[in-house]
Amino acid sequence: MTLAMFVLPSVAEASVGEVLTLDGEEGHHAAVVRRIAVGEEISLTDGAGTVARCRVASTGGSTGGSTGRGSLTAEVREVVRTPAEMPRVVVVQAIPKGDRGELAVEMLTEVGADVIVPWAAARSIARWKGERADKALAKWRSAAREAAKQARRSWFPTVSDLASTDDVVALLAKASVRVVLHEAASGPLADVPVPGRGEIVIVVGPEGGITEEELSAFSAVGAEPLRLGSSVLRSSTAGVAAAAALLSRTPRWR
């Protein structure tokens, strides 16, 4: 069974034998919600490639413990630093309605997406503006962080700021593999060659579909529409299926 994972940015500089303190929201979750006990082992990560296997030395309320309630200390037993995996996977997700955006972010994180880009597509039903945009983006980033911990990822995905169609075109222009999902496309995703390095950019349209103008802009930088199969997937699940199909053909899943 894998160890429970918690985020501690300072673990990037940790060394074996060092005693670290986990407090704040993460400490509360570990000591109070998860009830992690003295002697148990946990993983601490900075979300940027460093993971430390630690043994809990004290928790809030422990006899002789120096930590406050909702915190713990842990001795570092092992530190592993891993490089970012290749190829890099970027998923441009048109903003779906309701809470399906957060669901998409969770699943994309679990499957291995490295960057998730919320896209204000022309036919997106939901619109992010002003304070609502800030709150929605914060929810997406929180969903990615929690899903990355659940998936025991050493590298957490980045959820970028809201992108325009011009921003998406720029991402596609520099990609090694360009995938624009479209249910009416003639070319199958399965025929796309997948390199072992570089960057794969997957574009997922909104419930109402990608407009002809958007498709033309993507086509101008070499991104032609592709289909997953005969079924039409929801906007919130299509990107997950595409990312998994492509990742299964890379060294990352071997």
Cβ contacts of 115 within 8 Å, gap of 6 or more: 88, 89, 90, 91, 157, 158, 159, 160
- 74/97 same-domain check: no
User: How much is the pLDDT for 97?
Assistant: 87
- 114/167 same-domain check: yes
Number of structural domains found in the chain: 2
State pTM to two decimals.
Answer: 0.92
The pair phi, psi for residue 205, each rounded to 5°, is: -80, 175
User: Cα–Cα–Cα angle for 208, 109, 229, nearest 5°?
Assistant: 45
Q: Report the percent of the chain where pLDDT is more than 90.
A: 85
- 93/111 same-domain check: yes
- 134/229 same-domain check: yes
- 200/119 same-domain check: yes
**pLDDT for 167-226, tens place per residue?**
999 999 999 999 999 988 989 999 999 999 999 999 999 999 999 999 999 999 999 999
**pLDDT for 59-72, tens place per residue?**
984 434 444 568 99
Half-sphere exposure in the Cβ direction for 227 (13 Å, CA): 10
Residue 49, sorted as left (phi over 0), alpha (psi -120 to 50) or beta, turns out to be left
**pLDDT for 78-103, tens place per residue?**
999 999 999 999 999 999 988 899 99
Which range of residues forms the domain containing residue 132? 88-253
Give CA–CA dist 163/132, Å, rounded: 15
User: How much is the pLDDT for 69?
Assistant: 66
